[in-house]
Structure 1
């Protein structure tokens, strides 16, 4: 483990020129199971970043964590190491659905993990997945309503999607389970919005809800097309240096990533300068996920833009354009049509 910790610090050294003079608003430990790392790892990474830049007074340092008992019991140690927010992969409080989703934790462990989070962190979040096979609208309404009491002003909710190349896709093609049809899926979505709005956690992004002022700084950086460095195996980054926007992708395999870090100080597999058109496209893709929308001055497909406004999929304000509730139901199609 020490070898990997050292590699992360070496990789951060390679970005000294980017970090110098910056004010860091968010550090996010995610991708896989970062909570399996020892607390000293997080402390060393945070200290290394602070060596080259200034940590904002209200910096958000988030750790993605699984709700198994063994991980939840480390929350105190993580808080001592500098983590001040956890995002817990609950996914469901229903034992049947946890089994379907292949989760190792139980519903009781999920609740216990949240109690640990509430004890050691002033801010935490967890996620739930809905529109599952055989899930009724009533059962989801009951589960989400019951989950409200465990929230801390932020929750992520995702509709289950079946993607090619996954075990879910193989089982789905073999008809081992069926998915809700499009109309039922829309009903799930509307119920979700109604319940969370009722409890003052409106949607601020397609899958994220929060009380005002409790939005995730890390996530907002993505969706508002801010700069971020991707550190570690398979990490993606977007950052600006000398007025040029760069996109980076790291080597995916951890062993190969480690070898490249030790040999040359970084493990960048792909790096490119993003053109104005490419940045425009990415701003649309990310920004339309936000409830507030994106800048009207971005370059949209004008014909499609006008048609989508007329059809009620978009709503135009003075400076911003956003997807309506109708538009958010088909957001991916909406975005693909708007891109020039």
Structure 2
């Protein structure tokens, strides 16, 4: 049986840099579209030569703002990927989009290129919050973009950021109710985190930005789960909710520690028990592809212990947790060898996680504390 493979394609350019964002995104006045298309195709061909025995399950165009890509480039990359690998059918092909870069003709062109799932960065349903988050669109533009997306793509997801400065439980309840009423089959709901190196991190350090207190954050998380479930969406991952069968196949490949490749500036990959990274700065990546035929910066083997830690960190985010048999097959490591025994036992006694013959998973009480739990139990 062929190993499955997910393909991530990074488009690093944005119209503006959001103050909370630590992704590899850059603002450029001009982009040579033909040069970028050729370089991405070359980077893709290099990875394909390394993974001939795989079956492609998904393609994800991320960024940056991939809705700024020419649809012709998207179509060329999809066609090349399908020529390089046999594909799972139907192949899930997702493109991230920002409302400020959206118009009906562009979405139609992306759909014609083969994109069948759109992930829309709404981020908030409130104009004041959008300004705080540094988003280049307003609410009216966001809602119009969502309407256009739902008219052109069979599957649509959108992102919202909650637990924002000054947010109250009643305010989020109203915003969440509106979001759930749109009827999409998938929503990503992220609590705002302060990432190092961002403008928000500087503001937070200076006391110019204050997040809700821990009790309010916990209430917001619980409310989110309850209201989404009432609307027919289950939290299959800490921040991702979907109707049954509408889970993001691409992201599940990450969380279940399957093989994936990443091309484009700063993209990471995990394939054939090796970790790959690519040059982050767009100009450096482009130069590397022209010189070497690929944008690889590092490509190193992963020890069984490293694979076990990574599989634990990814898999524990899932509501179903980690399957013991799959974990041990992928990492060549017993599950218990990746866990701190005393701390695991203590957190299980506290009702935060469950370990048994099938594997390990967090309880509903442990899921909002996933990062803290991982710091405790991961060896």
Normalization by structure 2: what TM-score? 0.86
C-alpha distance in structure 2 between counterparts of 1:151 and 1:172, whole Å: 35
Give the equivalent residue in structure 2 for 1:290.
Answer: 318
Which runs of structure 1 show a deviation greater than 4 angstroms over 4 or more consecutive aligned residues? none
Aligned equivalent of 1:35 = 67
Q: Distance in 2 between matches of 1:69 and 1:13?
A: 29
Structure 2 equivalent of residue 106 of structure 1: 138
Alpha-carbon deviation of 1:73? Answer: 4.4
Aligned match of 1:126? 158
Alpha-carbon shift at residue 18 of structure 1 (Å): 3.0
Which residue in the other structure is 2:177 paired with? Answer: 145
Q: 1:261 is matched with which residue: 271, 289, 309?
A: 289
RMSD: 1.3
Unaligned runs of 5+ in 1: none
Query: Which of 321-330 and 66-75 deviates more?
Result: 66-75
SS of the equivalent of 2:134 reads coil
How far does residue 339 in structure 1 lie from its aligned partner after superposition?
1.2
Moved more, 203-212 or 326-335: 326-335
- Contact map agreement 1:292 1:320 (CA 8 A) in 2: no
Q: Which residue of 2 aligns with 1:309?
A: 348
Maintained 8 Å contact 2:274/2:300: yes
Contact 2:55–2:85 (CA<8 Å) still a contact in 1? yes
Distance in 1 separating the partners of 2:69 and 2:375: 39
Determine helix, strand or coil for the equivalent of 1:325: coil
> Contact 1:35 / 1:71 at 8 angstroms: preserved in 2?
no
**Counterparts of 1:109 and 1:310, CA distance in 2:** 49
| 3-state DSSP of counterpart to 2:92 | strand
Q: Do residues 224 (structure 1) and 256 (structure 2) align? A: yes
5+ residue gaps in structure 2?
A: 1-32, 325-333
| Aligned counterpart, 2:358 | 319
Cα displacement string for residues 144-177 of structure 1 (whole angstroms, at most 9, x for unaligned residues): 0011122421100000111222111222222223
- Of 219-228 and 61-70, deviating more is 61-70
Using the TM superposition, give the Cα deviation of residue 8 of structure 1 relative to its aligned residue in structure 2, in angstroms.
0.7
Which residues in structure 2 correspond to 1:117-266 (within 5 Å)? 117-240=149-272, 245-266=273-294
Q: Distance in 1 between matches of 2:97 and 2:240?
A: 17
Residue from 261, 267, 273 that aligns with 2:301: 273
User: TM-score, normalised on structure 1?
Assistant: 0.96
Distance 1:125 1:70, change over 3 A: closer
Query: Structure 1 residues 14 and 107 mapped into 2: Cα distance closer, same or farther (>3 Å)?
Result: same
* Cα separation, 2, equivalents of 1:74 and 1:179: 37
| 1:107–1:310 CA distance, 2 compared to 1 (3 A) | same
